[in-house]
Amino acid sequence: MAIVVVVGAIGLATRGSDAPAAKATADPVIPTVTAAAVDLATQLGPRDQELVSIGAKGVSIHRAGGRRKVVALTFDDGPAKDTPAILSILKQYDVPATFFVVGQAVKEYPGMVAQEIAQGHQIGVHTWSHPDLTKLPAAKQQQEIVDTQNAIISDSGVASRLFRAPYGAVDPSVIATAEKNKLLSVLWEGDTNDWQRPDVNTIVQRVVSEVTPGSIILMHDGGGDRANTVAALPTIIKELKKQGYGFATVGDLVVSDPPGPSDMSVDGKGVSE
């Protein structure tokens, strides 16, 4: 049986993250999956077909259409030490979320992506080593994405259909690379800036005061100490439910409430910093 082998690249720490830059090693761990596993994992169901169709428009989305009072909670930079606590809270409140994972972290925390999927969450590609893709040639962009996709497949048997660029740094080249890999580029509308480690109440208020129907909310489960994010999450969920909001993964939200032209961009403009 043929073997697909891809090599991870080394890059920078994330915008919105205080994680140190990944350290190069003499013998990097390379995600390896069989061609048959890739073929099986990348078969597109109805939801995935719709996501790929939106991604083929050459845009990033930063929110859904706003026709339904539903939001998507998203977490970047994991898996990491705080991910299990976040998963426990989401399970307790029966809330689905979307995790944009870093390939190197997937290899460091084996089985975590599979657990996220088993709990009903969705996985997105957040590159292998978290570089600014706009500063890389197309071949390196491709490597960062494929390495991470293969790590996800190796861990869970499921392929991602979502992509989020580190730093939210996108341009037509980055979006084209995502499209080439049948990925929808997803940014955000509501940013907690939890990477700066504000106090718990500040994180809560940034979500509750800025949320609108269709919001895609950015938080982090990796990239540093996320104790305040963990502590804020139950209150965020309870307050949004109190306001009548429901929760969905990014994929389910976007398919059920498609974004309009004002909810998309080709260069990331409109994304809150």
CB atoms within 10 A of CB 193: 16
Buried b (16+ CB within 10 A) or exposed e, 139-173: eebbbbbbbbbbbbbbbbebbbbbbbbbbbbbeee
Structure tokens at 94: 């029966």
76 catalytic? Reply is: yes
Q: How many helices (H) and strands (E) does the chain have?
A: 10, 12
Backbone torsions φ then ψ of 185, nearest 5 degrees? -80, 120
Among residues 48, 76, 77, 263, the one annotated as catalytic is 76
d(CA 210, CA 68): 16
CB under 8 Å to 132, separation ≥6 — which residues? Answer: 11, 12, 166, 167, 169
User: With the CA atoms of 138, 139, 144 and 149 taken in that order, what torsion angle do they form, in degrees rounded to the nearest 10?
Assistant: 100
Identify the CA nearest to 10 among candidates 32, 30, 34.
30
Residue pair 60/262 in contact (Cβ under 8 Å)? The answer is no
Among residues 220, 221, 252, 257, the one annotated as catalytic is 220
Residues carrying an active site annotation: 76, 220
